[in-house]
């Protein structure tokens, strides 16, 4: 099992130092998200500063960018980092696409599928000097002159991951993608009954197997040096669960388990009752979503829970665990890898 470092939402200029530290501690990958800064630029800085880490977006929001723009950024990152870059894409939710990015929200699943096919058509043109001819329902590309063609690179097969929650995205990952970012709001039962079977079905339909698709998960952890820190972490995770459970996109996880507070949480979020929302999250929900263990046992607990369900994990947050020493981080990462 690989263990990945997730870059916090800080200035991109912090990426080189954090990448070097992540590698020294034993992390295998360095991943960014589309939060308060662009997700691609820190990867360029990290990739140049530290040559040992896998790099990727987890995730970049697809639809505000033309596939041509994303293709070019990814091509350059693959070239500069010697093929270590993984392009992770997601759809986001309607409110952010229409109101934050001011673009259209149209059939997000099929549109993302076509987006990936368009990327591969563009990359094929650059690598193999074939005419650009892509005609889809959402995207059409037919012009690539030599002036705008970056030409072939040594690592043209850019791995594409997607993020998702429900059956449709899981099937598409199995059919089309190199990898799948499992949303942190998940349970083992949800993985076993929804995500993995649908990924396997998609893979089979495309003549592949589930082993052809890398699965990465960021994990809610409740840990600490003592009971007080464990309880602090538990409160923080309870609040995070309430936030995700209030979003209709993640309702399938609630429905599978028969957790019926989704509508109430949504209504409370619209009233700004964020602190009170955590009171609706039960102990059973916390235990199903998060990995709970003292710091010394956390790595083994993660491995025991996930087994071979995923190949990459990251600590979603070390809520309440207190600052870890270099030795504690190194030990935790090694224990998580097994």
Q: What is the pLDDT of residues 209-265, one digit of tens each?
A: 999 999 999 999 999 888 898 999 999 999 999 999 999 989 999 999 999 999 999
Say if 100 falls within a structural domain.
yes
Say if 136 falls within a structural domain.
yes
CATH of residue 323's domain is 3.20.20.30
Residue 152 domain boundaries: 2-225+293-337
State percent of the chain over pLDDT 90: 93
pLDDT of residue 319: 53
Helices (H), 206-307: 227-245, 251-257, 262-270, 274-277, 283-289, 295-306
Say if 41 falls within a structural domain.
yes
pLDDT of residue 322: 61
pLDDT of residue 318: 66
User: Tens digit of pLDDT for each residue in 216-229?
Assistant: 999 999 998 888 98
Say if 54 falls within a structural domain.
yes
In contact, 80 and 154? CB cutoff 8 Å: no
Question: What does DSSP assign to residue 212?
Answer: G
Residue 198, both tokens: 């649908």
Say if 271 falls within a structural domain.
no
pLDDT of residue 256: 97
**Omega cis (within 30) before 242:** no
Assessment of whether the complete model's pTM goes beyond 0.85:
yes
Say if 56 falls within a structural domain.
yes
Say if 209 falls within a structural domain.
yes
User: Tens digit of pLDDT for each residue in 132-145?
Assistant: 999 999 999 999 99
pLDDT of residue 316: 86
In contact, 148 and 167? CB cutoff 8 Å: no
pLDDT of residue 286: 96
pLDDT of residue 156: 98
Average pLDDT over residues 128-132: 98
As for how many domains the chain has, the answer is 1
How many Å apart are CA 151 and CA 198, to the nearest integer? 37
User: Tens digit of pLDDT for each residue in 32-83?
Assistant: 999 999 999 999 999 999 999 999 999 999 999 999 999 999 999 999 999 9
pLDDT of residue 110: 98
How many Å apart are CA 279 and CA 302, to the nearest integer? 26
pLDDT of residue 338: 87
Residue 90, both tokens: 């997601």
**pLDDT averaged over every residue in the chain:** 95
Say if 107 falls within a structural domain.
yes
């Amino acid at each position: 099992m690989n263990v990945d470092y997730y870059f916090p939402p800080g200035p991109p200029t912090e990426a080189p130092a954090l990448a070097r530290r992540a590698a020294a501690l034993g992390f295998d990958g360095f991943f960014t998200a589309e939060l308060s800064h662009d997700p691609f630029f820190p990867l360029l800085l990290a990739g140049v500063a530290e040559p040992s880490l896998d790099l990727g977006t987890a995730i970049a929001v697809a639809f505000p960018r033309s596939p041509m723009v994303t293709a070019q950024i990814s091509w350059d990152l693959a070239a500069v980092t010697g093929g270590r870059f993984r392009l992770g894409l997601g759809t986001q939710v309607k409110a952010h696409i229409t109101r934050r990015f001011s673009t259209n929200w149209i059939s997000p699943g099929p549109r993302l599928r076509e987006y990936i096919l368009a990327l591969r058509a563009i990359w094929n043109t650059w690598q193999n000097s074939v005419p650009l001819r892509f005609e889809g329902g959402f995207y059409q590309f037919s012009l690539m002159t030599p002036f705008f063609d970056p030409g072939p690179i040594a690592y043209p097969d850019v791995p594409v991951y997607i993020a998702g929650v429900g059956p449709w995205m899981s099937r598409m990952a199995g059919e089309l993608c190199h990898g799948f970012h499992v949303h942190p709001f998940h349970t083992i039962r949800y993985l076993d009954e929804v995500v993995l079977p649908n990924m396997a079905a998609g893979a089979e339909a495309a003549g592949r197997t589930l082993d052809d698709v890398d699965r990465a998960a960021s994990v809610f952890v409740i840990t600490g040096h003592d009971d007080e820190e464990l309880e602090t972490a538990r409160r923080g995770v309870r609040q995070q669960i309430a936030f995700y459970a209030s979003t209709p996109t993640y309702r399938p996880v609630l429905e599978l388990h028969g957790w019926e507070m989704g509508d109430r949480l949504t209504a409370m979020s619209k009233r700004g009752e964020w602190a009170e929302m955590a009171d609706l999250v039960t102990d059973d929900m916390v235990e199903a979503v998060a990995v709970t263990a003292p710091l010394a046992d956390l790595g083994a607990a993660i491995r025991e829970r996930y087994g071979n369900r995923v190949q990459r994990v990251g600590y979603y947050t070390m809520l309440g665990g207190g600052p870890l020493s270099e030795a504690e981080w190194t030990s935790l990462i090694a224990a998580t890898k097994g």
